[in-house]
Amino acid sequence: MLRRLLPAPAMLASIAAVVVLPLILPSVAMATEVVVFIIATLGCNLLLGYVGLLSFGQAISFGVGAYACGLALIHLHIGVWGGLFAALICSIIAGLVVGALSIQKRGIYFVMLTFAFSQMFYFIAYAMAEVTGGDNGLLNVPRPPLTVFGVTLLSLGTPLSMYCLAAIVFLVLFVFLHRLVASPFGSTLIAIRENEERAIAVGYNTRIFKIIAFVISSWVTGMAGALYALFLNFAPLSNIDVSMSERIIIMTIVGGTNSLFGSVLGATFYVVVGNLLASVWPRWLLVLGIILIVVAGYLRGGLWSGVEWTWQRLRARWPVAGAVEQREDRGGA
Amino acid sequence: MNLYLIQVLNGLGIGMIYFLIAVGLSVIFGIMNFVNFAHGAFYLLGAYLCYAIAAATDSFWLALAVGPLAIGALAWAAETRFLCRLYRVEHMYQILVTLGLALVIQELVVLIWGPIGTHVSAPALFRGVLSYGDFAYPKYRLFVIGFSAVLALTLWLLLERTRYGAILRAGTESTEMVSLLGIDIFRLFSLTFALGAYLAGLAGVLAAPIRGAEPFMGPEALTIAFVVVVIGGMGSFAGALAGGLLVGVVQSVMSSLWSEGANVMIYVAMALVILLRPRGLFGRT
Amino acid sequence: MKLSRRKFVKDAAAGAMLVGGAPAMLGRALAAEKVKLCSLYPLSGAFAGVGKPGDVGAHLAMQALAKDYGLDIDYVSIDSEGNPGRGVAKVLAEIQQSGTKFFAGAILSSVALAVGAEVHKSGGVFFTAVGADEVTGANCNRSMFRWSVPTYGAIQETVVPLIAMFPDAKRWYTITPKYVFGDSLLRNAVDVFKEKGIEHVGNSYHSLSETEFSGYLTNAAAAKPDVLLLLNFGSQSTNTLRQAADFGMKNKIKIVMVWAAGLEQYQEIGTDVLDGVYVGCQYDVTIDSPGNKKIVELFKRDANRIPSYASVGGYICADLIMRGMKAAGSAEPAAVIKALEGMKYEGPTGNEEIQAFDHQCVKNYYLLKGKPAAQKKSSDDYVEIVSFGKSFLTQAQSLCKMA
């Protein structure tokens, strides 16, 4: 049974990444930030890479997840599980509402619709200042220990235990998404991306599939938002701003939309390189702009395609036969 | 009543500038199916070139004449060098590239002119207000309305009465047909892109005396352009005009009725248009 | 054979850990012995215009004063990118990475409030110059200190003197950004109006991203006010003022900008538009005080700079932290906090004092008037001081309840 769960190399690599990140990066806080955005990028990648839908609504789910978790912890005192659950419920509802409406249109109209919704949610968050804190953001989000039946699993008081929570949530979601895209559901999504008319002709209710994908993506991104609120003890208005959607989309495309692991690469790259560049040159956005142009122009598979290319080269030099290869190919990592 | 008259005038003025920004984006998308997230950057450059040229030569008119042309030329260069490779790829890569280009332009502006905004004076001819009893209105804004109206008329003539215009209109229906008819489609694209950038730059030049020039004004222009294009209809000149004026006037009048909501109203309108009448006011299905 | 790739990956991971992790782990072990002072300002993004001067000021303070105080300061500069999420995340990273305890800066109130909470949790000291009342009000904590005057004082020192100066100007119209800070200013203004018998003929709210104010100004003009009170700030107040001047409103109506950003903003507005306009500001280069003379001298020596509120805000926050360390004789945050509470010192606006109950600096707020071009002594001489004073809520009135 363990063998079924046992991951293809991409999964192994993600476990390795999660273990290695806090050691390589200069602080555990940066590693936590990276993992939070990896999760958000996974949500976007599901929609963009597997269904082919470019949505500017990522910030909606990210912000709603953060606010839901923060508000639940502040007002309902229901602990971390409660906070995560609140984020789950709220981001699924938001995803359902926005998704059901946006899915009705395709192509550039879909994109513009999600953009409009994103602005509307921003306005709502800004206007409901008594609830969300408005421009000041939701301050003093507590971070109580993670307990199960009174037993403390993670104290969450230290940076490392906060990181562990984020890492565990990431791994759980990654396994889930990995199996999802490898399943018939995932194949249908890909079929819809490739040629929606044909998928309809074959008899699939593409609308339902797209809405479900949208909701799942929203849920995953909402989880990231909740973790972010826990991590910062703060849920700023900028979480629900369109520029947050832009950032997530950039991470997704730069990482590579052909594989879920691309999200790991993209988010890590953006957060780490962004931090590095910002500390060196205030005009670091210029470099980011150039990177975007280069990636979109010449390296469309993103960083993942670069890794794949290197991997092919290595495999050519040191051939490794065996059943592991077959499992990898079928899994579609 | 006086109040609403002035609000409408305000709206027409802003609306005309919106039209100038949007029409380029609309045509670029209508013909080339190219999502241009750098459009706001052309507007930004327009405002800054206006500032730079006016500061150097003390002539707003020179800035008005030369600035947008320079931007058009820059856009032509960008398009022929590397943007043209992206016409066939998915929208997400077009967005990524043009977003990157917008960032590069914005940061270059900061590098050259600093991060603080600057102030651009209206041309001496149009400084001050036009008074009529109780009613006073800035001469410069009246100039913007008048000038943009003339420009709109010129563009319309260009579209309806010239060969290029005919090709452009045909191109919004089907670029394949146009190229099958033996017309160099790539020249058409380059010209169109340059024209769109020229108009956005022109909008920037005109807007500079009203709201100054500051390095982060690009995204706001881009957002408005998308809203206007959606409401008016993609690829439609009349749509950009009607949409721009409508959005401008509604925003202005709303500031008397529900001031905080003026901004979000346009997004609600945008969403409603996409859901209920996707082709907008004047677009084609 | 089956296991070889897995083994390979595992070995590679172990190797990477050793190679990549070692320097980072070693770096953290050799923690700096100097005291770290970290400044947090938006150096990129939309607020870079005010962020950069703040950073320059803080750095200047450290360079010029640390040795005088007998301190060895290691200065670190963080770019908050004008984004609260990024700002707080970077502060967390800095605290974890280097154990930094002393922070200064912030331009956005949201950043300051969140960073203040984090620094408090880690037992550090944070000195800021942002505007939101909550910093020394409802969200006050033992680690956070604030130099700038909050909304109560800003209104008291601008609106009240003007009412006295122009007793016939009874009709006032306000333009307010619709959010927490704007509402605070408005509330305070309305209180003064009630107290002084001023007719508040109307208010226009606008959103934070608004650039087109013609609609609101038209509304304002229709209400026929004597005074137009601008409660917005930054580029929004610049645009409102500019457009008000375009509409010829300056001739008939007195315009007051309560929360001006200082020299950088005056440069952006320009002499023609600023002429005859009243502005309120936390600082001005023409302040006649020994503290300010010293600052002007220091700035001049460093690349011939002219101090502005943005740069002096950065300067004084860093300076006060260092003074606290010197007075405490240690770099222990608890000792520094105790030393700072109740400290009286010679600041840019004259004699200043840090209140113990809410960590708010008691200092002057200035009402200034824009000069016409003919009266300017130099190209950067935009305003002249009209009046100034200290107005602060008492402990009984304050919302700050610190342990």
The predicted-structure confidence for B229-272, as pLDDT tens digits, reads as follows 999 988 888 999 999 999 999 988 888 888 777 788 889 999 99
Return the residue of C nearest to A275 by Cα. C90
What b/e readout covers B131-153, taking b as 16+ CB neighbours within 10 angstroms? eeeeebbbbbbbbbbebbeebbe
What pLDDT is stored for residue B206 in this prediction? 95
User: Which range scores top for mean pLDDT: A221-230, B7-16, C7-16?
Assistant: A221-230
What pLDDT is stored for residue A321 in this prediction? 52
Q: Is position C348 within any domain?
A: yes
Residue A145's closest CA among A82, A228, A63, A219?
A82
What pLDDT is stored for residue A7 in this prediction? 59
Are C248 and C332 found together in one domain? no
Are C116 and C238 found together in one domain? no
Are C86 and C232 found together in one domain? no
What pLDDT is stored for residue B160 in this prediction? 86
The predicted-structure confidence for B24-69, as pLDDT tens digits, reads as follows 899 888 888 888 999 999 999 999 999 999 999 988 999 999 999 9
What gap in Å lies between CA B111 and CA A265, rounded to an integer? 30
Q: Which whole number is the average pLDDT over A237-257?
A: 93
Are C371 and C335 found together in one domain? no
Instruction: Judge contact between A33 and A231, C-beta under 8 A.
Output: yes
Which chain A residues touch B95 with a CB distance below 8 Å?
A: 54, 249
Give the type of residue at A146.
L
Residue of B101, B267, B272, B277 to mutate, interface with A, max A Cβ within 10 Å:
B267
What pLDDT is stored for residue A84 in this prediction? 95
The predicted-structure confidence for B181-236, as pLDDT tens digits, reads as follows 888 888 888 988 999 999 999 999 999 999 889 899 999 899 999 999 999 988 88
Comparing C243 with B128, the larger pLDDT belongs to: C243
What b/e readout covers C231-251, taking b as 16+ CB neighbours within 10 angstroms? bbbbbbbbbbbbbbbbbbbbe
Q: Is position C214 within any domain?
A: yes
**Band (B168; pLDDT cuts 50, 70, 90):** confident
For residue A187, what are the domain limits? 2-331
Instruction: Judge contact between B230 and B29, C-beta under 8 A.
Output: no
Interchain CB distance below 8 Å, C246 and B260: no
- Shortest CB distance from B103 goes to which of A257, A289, A295? A289
Size of interface A-B (CB pairs under 8 A): 107
Q: Are strands A151-154 and A146-148 parallel, antiparallel or unpaired?
A: antiparallel
Are C227 and C327 found together in one domain? no
Separation in Å, CA of A267 to nearest CA in chain C: 14
Q: Which two tokens stand for residue A223?
A: 């989880």
In chain C, pLDDT over 90 holds for what percent of residues? Answer: 78
Interchain CB distance below 8 Å, A120 and B271: yes
Interface of A with B in 121-140 (CB under 8 A): 123, 127
Interchain CB distance below 8 Å, B104 and A290: yes
Q: What are phi and psi of A138, to 5 degrees?
A: -90, 110
Q: Which two tokens stand for residue A30?
A: 């940066």
CATH number, position A321: 1.10.3470
Q: Could you give the number of structural domains in chain C?
A: 2
Which chain B residues touch C267 with a CB distance below 8 Å?
A: 116, 119
- CA of residue C51 relative to chain centroid, distance: 10
What pLDDT is stored for residue A264 in this prediction? 92
Instruction: Judge contact between A312 and A302, C-beta under 8 A.
Output: no
Are C338 and C374 found together in one domain? no
Is the CB of residue B216 less than 8 Å away from at least one CB of chain C? yes
What gap in Å lies between CA A159 and CA A25, rounded to an integer? 13
Which range (A227-236, A288-297, C338-347) has the least confidence? A288-297
In chain C, pLDDT over 70 holds for what percent of residues? Answer: 92
Answer whether residue B173 shows pLDDT above 80. no
Interchain CB distance below 8 Å, C17 and A323: no
Instruction: Judge contact between A222 and A98, C-beta under 8 A.
Output: no
**Band (C11; pLDDT cuts 50, 70, 90):** low
What pLDDT is stored for residue C5 in this prediction? 53
Interchain CB distance below 8 Å, C215 and B220: no
Return the residue of A nearest to C17 by Cα. A20
Q: Could you give the number of structural domains in chain A?
A: 1
Are C145 and C177 found together in one domain? no
Is the CB of residue B214 less than 8 Å away from at least one CB of chain C? yes
Separation in Å, CA of C80 to nearest CA in chain A: 9
Residue C365's closest CA among C150, C182, C172?
C150
Q: Which whole number is the average pLDDT over C201-222?
A: 90
- Shortest CB distance from B7 goes to which of C51, C211, C218? C218
Is the CB of residue A117 less than 8 Å away from at least one CB of chain B? yes
Q: Is position C247 within any domain?
A: yes
Q: Is position C130 within any domain?
A: yes
Are C71 and C114 found together in one domain? yes
The CB density around residue C84, as the number of other CB atoms within 10 Å, is: 28
Q: Using CB atoms, which chains have 3+ pairs under 8 A with C?
A: A, B
What pLDDT is stored for residue A318 in this prediction? 79
Interchain CB distance below 8 Å, C44 and A282: yes
Separation in Å, CA of B184 to nearest CA in chain C: 41
Instruction: Judge contact between A238 and A66, C-beta under 8 A.
Output: no
Which chain B residues touch A292 with a CB distance below 8 Å?
A: 96-97, 99-100, 103
Q: Which two tokens stand for residue A175?
A: 């396994």
Which chain A residues touch B270 with a CB distance below 8 Å?
A: 112, 116
**Band (C3; pLDDT cuts 50, 70, 90):** very low
Residue of A136, A160, A239 to mutate, interface with C, max C Cβ within 10 Å:
A136
Residue A54's closest CA among A314, A322, A257, A261?
A257
Is the CB of residue A322 less than 8 Å away from at least one CB of chain B? no
Interchain CB distance below 8 Å, C211 and B10: no
For residue C276, what are the domain limits? 152-281+365-389
What pLDDT is stored for residue B231 in this prediction? 93
Is the CB of residue A108 less than 8 Å away from at least one CB of chain B? yes
Interchain CB distance below 8 Å, B111 and A300: no
Are C382 and C256 found together in one domain? yes
Answer whether residue C24 shows pLDDT above 60. no
What pLDDT is stored for residue B285 in this prediction? 56
Q: Is position C21 within any domain?
A: no
**Band (C32; pLDDT cuts 50, 70, 90):** very low
Are C190 and C295 found together in one domain? no
Residue A235's closest CA among A137, A131, A128, A91?
A137
Which chain A residues touch B86 with a CB distance below 8 Å?
A: 296-297
Answer whether residue A123 shows pLDDT above 60. yes
3-state secondary structure of C304: coil
Are C197 and C296 found together in one domain? no
What b/e readout covers C264-297, taking b as 16+ CB neighbours within 10 angstroms? bbbbbbbbebbbebbbbbbbbbebebebbeebbe
**Band (A306; pLDDT cuts 50, 70, 90):** confident
The predicted-structure confidence for A140-199, as pLDDT tens digits, reads as follows 999 988 887 777 787 888 899 999 999 999 999 999 999 999 899 999 999 998 888 898
Which chain C residues touch A160 with a CB distance below 8 Å?
A: none
Answer whether residue A94 shows pLDDT above 90. yes
- Shortest CB distance from C20 goes to which of A24, A29, A323? A24
**Band (C22; pLDDT cuts 50, 70, 90):** very low
Are C144 and C233 found together in one domain? no
Size of interface B-C (CB pairs under 8 A): 108
Which range (C68-72, C318-322, C374-378) has the least confidence? C68-72
Q: Which two tokens stand for residue B42?
A: 């052309």
Q: Are strands C102-105 and C125-128 parallel, antiparallel or unpaired?
A: parallel
CATH number, position C217: 3.40.50.2300
The predicted-structure confidence for B108-140, as pLDDT tens digits, reads as follows 999 999 888 888 888 888 888 888 777 788 999
- CA of residue A190 relative to chain centroid, distance: 19
In sequence order, which residues have a C-beta less than 8 Å from that of residue A138 and are 6 or more positions away?
Answer: A66, A67, A70, A71, A74, A132, A229, A234, A235, A236
Interchain CB distance below 8 Å, C206 and B262: yes
What gap in Å lies between CA A192 and CA A184, rounded to an integer? 12
**Band (A67; pLDDT cuts 50, 70, 90):** very high
What pLDDT is stored for residue C26 in this prediction? 41
Q: Using CB atoms, which chains have 3+ pairs under 8 A with B?
A: A, C
- The mean pLDDT value of chain C amounts to 89
User: Which range scores top for mean pLDDT: A133-137, B162-166, C210-214, C262-266?
Assistant: C262-266
